[in-house]
Every structure is written in structure tokens, then in C-alpha cells.
A = this chain, B = another copy of it.
Amino acid sequence: VTAESEFSIIRELFAPLAKTAAGAFSLTDDVAAIDLENAVITKDLMIAGVHFRQKDPLDLVARKLMRVNISDLVSKGVRPAGYLLGCVWPANTDRAMIETFVSGLKQDQKAFKCHLLGGDTTRHRLKTGPLTLSATFYGPAPDGGIIRRSGANVGEDVYVTGTIGDGALGLRVLEAKLKVSEEDKAFLQDRYWLPQPRVTFGTALGSFATAAMDISDGLITDAGHLATQSEVGVSINLDNMPLSVAAHKWLQEERNKQSALEFLATGGDDYEILFTAPSSMRRSIHMASRASRTDVTRIGRTTREKIILVACGDKETEVKAGGFDHFSVS
């Protein structure tokens, strides 16, 4: 593969993704122009073998890259507007593979109404060099400003959107470490491959949430991050954790329920929104949930004592902030 074929790949495959963004200069220049007062920006990397599997379909990998970044924005009350993309392809990548990848980008650009602005594409010298992807997404700050991790107060409700643990189960299914029905398999692997950023609900966050973030490292770990930044503690009841039908079926068949719930609460790859709000906001949250058709579940409270307390059945476990060793999944 010569350098020139990289240029033709940019021109023929990536430039069409940028044609709706004036500041992208059709990807013919070294830089892009953005005009956005009060922008919010985020950057997330994904590497084959770490953040996705070598065998994952490349259109889904592209969409996951977009959604992981969009999830960061959405959990702050921000809609995505545009992005820059960096790709490092394994040495033996052919054009058809890049076409598949680009078809995923195209699909989710449409779904999330955002445009490619620019970036960088190159190749590993070694065949073993893993596909490495990087995206920088931005969008306009909401009128009231973004919702930080640090705004929670003592005695507030703790909520999550959607269901928890499906992504972690999906990965186990894909790794053939878990056997489920064909229907559940399709659902769970889809939840691993395709996070669902709660864009519409996210834009409502500003009217009730005091703190918010997306769950990528696992519910318990990320609740710990939010609590640390807000200088509060948090108490979570795993019995209230929202589960999908597939996760619920899996749970029924596990002998050790507590350990199974902990797996779901620490598995990560959820990309749901974790947020806090005073109890006076319960009605507003219910309305926003209905209006955006996004399930929202109250799973705990913020506390004065700066610890993470996880209840499950009649058992309570204290998790050290910054530690979470008890919950490490092997």
C-alpha cells in the first residue's frame, strides 16, 4: 500500500462523510474550521484487543467509537455536532474493510446528526499492530452549562438510564464464556457492540440533574467517581438495579445472586447515564423519562459519610472509594 492509496481512500471514502460540513474543506487541507462559542469537547480512544474484539464487524466498531464519544457528551447535556477521526490500520487492511468501517460511520452520522470535520489516517508497519481508533467529538454547551460530575449534594437521589450489565454479558457471550438462547445472544451482543446514547433524555438533564456522567467502567466504579468529585458518599441498592429481560434470565440461573449482581454492576460497557437529583425533582424526571421514552430508575442515595455502600438482599458491603477491589471481575 502506497501513501497515494491512503490519499485516494481519504478522497473516495472519508470525504463524502465531510461534505455537509463547510469547515471540513472536503478533507483537502491540514486543518478544519469550527465556529462554536461555548463548545464542549471530548476525546476517546479504542484499540482492538482492549476496547473491542479483533473479530468485531468493522461497521459496528465504527459506530461504537462514535457512540462511546457521543455518550460522554450526552451525559453532560450536550448534543454532538461534529468530530475529528484518527485511524491506524493494521498493515494488511484492505479497501473493503475500510469501506465497511466507513459505512458504519455514515449510518451513525445520520442517526446522531453530526459531521466528520477532519483527522488522520495511517497504517501500522507490522501486521500485528492493532487497529487503533481515536475520535474527538464536540457539540454546543447547553444554555445552563454542562452537568458536571461534581455537583451532587448529600441526600439526593441516584438514578441510571436504561439497563445495567448487558454490555458485560454481551462480551461474555461473544467470548463463548456464556451460553444463552439465540434471541438473548442477539440482544446482549448488540448491547456490547452498540451503546445507546440517551440523546433526548440527555438534553433534559439540565433541568433536574445536579451531577451526571456516563457509565463506562461499571456502575459501582463510576458511582465512586461521581461521589469522589462531589465530595459525598453514595449508597446503592443492587436489588433496584434495572435489568433487561435477558440479564434477568441469566441472573435467575446463577447460584450466587450477590456475586452475579456484582458482576452486572461492575462489568462496564454500559454507556448509560448515571445522575443525581434532589427528591423534589422526581416528578420532572418521570415526565422527562416518558417524553424521551427512556427508562430511568432510582437506585440509591447520596450520603454524608464519604463511602460507597452497596446493598444486596439483606447484606450491605462497604466499597473503598478508589479501591473497589471487592468488585474486581476476573
Chain A contacts to B: CB under 8 angstroms: 3-4, 7, 25, 28-45, 47, 49-51, 72-73, 75-76, 78, 84-86, 88, 117-120, 122-126, 128-130, 132, 134, 136, 138, 141, 145-146, 148-150, 213-214, 217, 221, 229, 322-324
Partner of A36, one of B34, B73, B84, B86: B34
Is the CB–CB distance between B118 and A42 below 8 Å?
Answer: yes
Instruction: Give every chain B residue within 8 A of A44 (Cβ-Cβ).
Output: 86, 120
Instruction: Give every chain B residue within 8 A of A50 (Cβ-Cβ).
Output: 88, 122-125, 129
Report the bound CA distance from A86 to B36 in whole Å: 20
Report the bound CA distance from A213 to B306 in whole Å: 53
Instruction: Give every chain B residue within 8 A of A130 (Cβ-Cβ).
Output: 124, 126, 129
Instruction: Give every chain B residue within 8 A of A3 (Cβ-Cβ).
Output: 217, 221
6 more CB-based (< 8 A) A-B contacts, given A41-B117, A41-B136: A4-B323, A29-B148, A33-B146, A34-B39, A35-B37, A43-B134
Report the bound CA distance from A86 to B117 in whole Å: 18
Q: Known interface pairs A34-B41, A84-B41. Does A29 touch B120 (Cβ–Cβ under 8 Å)?
A: no
Partner of A31, one of B29, B84, B146, B221: B146
Is the CB–CB distance between B45 and A88 below 8 Å?
Answer: yes
Report the bound CA distance from A86 to B119 in whole Å: 14
Instruction: Give every chain B residue within 8 A of A324 (Cβ-Cβ).
Output: 4
Report the bound CA distance from A130 to B37 in whole Å: 36
Is the CB–CB distance between B150 and A28 below 8 Å?
Answer: yes
Report the bound CA distance from A322 to B28 in whole Å: 14
Interchain Cβ contacts under 8 Å between A and B, 20 examples: A3-B217, A4-B322, A25-B148, A29-B146, A30-B42, A32-B40, A33-B39, A33-B40, A41-B117, A41-B118, A41-B136, A42-B118, A43-B85, A43-B119, A49-B125, A50-B122, A51-B122, A86-B134, A126-B130, A128-B128
Q: Known interface pairs A4-B323, A39-B36, A43-B136. Does A30 touch B75 (Cβ–Cβ under 8 Å)?
A: yes
Report the bound CA distance from A40 to B31 in whole Å: 6
Q: Known interface pairs A45-B120, A130-B129. Does A73 touch B31 (Cβ–Cβ under 8 Å)?
A: yes
Is the CB–CB distance between A122 and B47 below 8 Å?
Answer: yes
Partner of A49, one of B29, B51, B117, B129: B129
Instruction: Give every chain B residue within 8 A of A217 (Cβ-Cβ).
Output: 3
Is the CB–CB distance between A42 and B47 below 8 Å?
Answer: no
Chain B residue nearest in CB terms to A38? B35
Instruction: Give every chain B residue within 8 A of A37 (Cβ-Cβ).
Output: 35-37
